[in-house]
Structure formats: C-alpha cells, structure tokens
Amino acid sequence: MTLNEKKGILLVERGVYIMLLRDWLKKNNVKAYKFAAEIGIAAATLYRSMGGKQRLSARYGVRIEEVTNGEVSRLEAIWPEEYSKTTSTSTSDKIIEMPKS
C-alpha cells in the first residue's frame, strides 16, 4: 500500500513514514546552512546532497537521523533522489490506519 500526502512530506508505505530532509527543514523552520553546521558539513555540501548532485557519507546520514530524532532516516538523507521520486504534492490530505502486524 502506498499513499502520497499533501506537501510531499509523508509517504506511507507498509506503515513507514518517509520525510525528506528539505521537507523536515521547512516543517521545523530550520535554515539549511545552520543545520549543516550542526551536523558538521559545509552548507554547499548539504545543498548539493538535497539536490541529488552529491551523496552524503553514511556517517552524515546517521548524524541527520540523530538530529532529526529519526524523522529523516539515514537512507532518506543519503539517497534523497530515490525518495523524492515517490513523494508528490497532492492537494488532498488523507488519513490512513496503520496496518496491524
């Protein structure tokens, strides 16, 4: 089951929420250059990564996951171009019930 929700922020796939870093930054009103400094990389590196031009190392993927309290996973941080293909900017909000395990 796949569901795209408004703002391209959440994708629900088998009960897993996906949030891209650029969406997390916007949602939390955090400037990318300040976030980059907090995780210890150059702002230009972070911008290139979010734009799919450069891949971050696993070390920074883990750091992003820690700083965002898991809202952005290390995989989403390392491969944003793969996850951005699956999110959309739908105009309708949808609520789904999580499948029971």
The predicted structure's pLDDT at residue 73: 87
Residue 22 lies in a domain: yes
CATH of the domain at 67: 1.10.260
Give yes or no for residue 87 having a pLDDT over 60: no
Residue 39 lies in a domain: yes
Are residues 92 and 6 in contact, defined by beta-carbon separation less than 8 angstroms? Answer: yes
Residue 93 lies in a domain: no
Residue 94 lies in a domain: no
Q: Per residue in 12-36, pLDDT tens?
A: 444 556 688 999 999 999 999 999 9
Number of domains in the chain: 1
Give yes or no for residue 67 having a pLDDT over 60: yes
Q: Per residue in 33-56, pLDDT tens?
A: 999 999 999 999 999 998 888 899
Residue 101 lies in a domain: no
Domain carrying residue 51: 2-84
Mean confidence (pLDDT) of the chain: 74
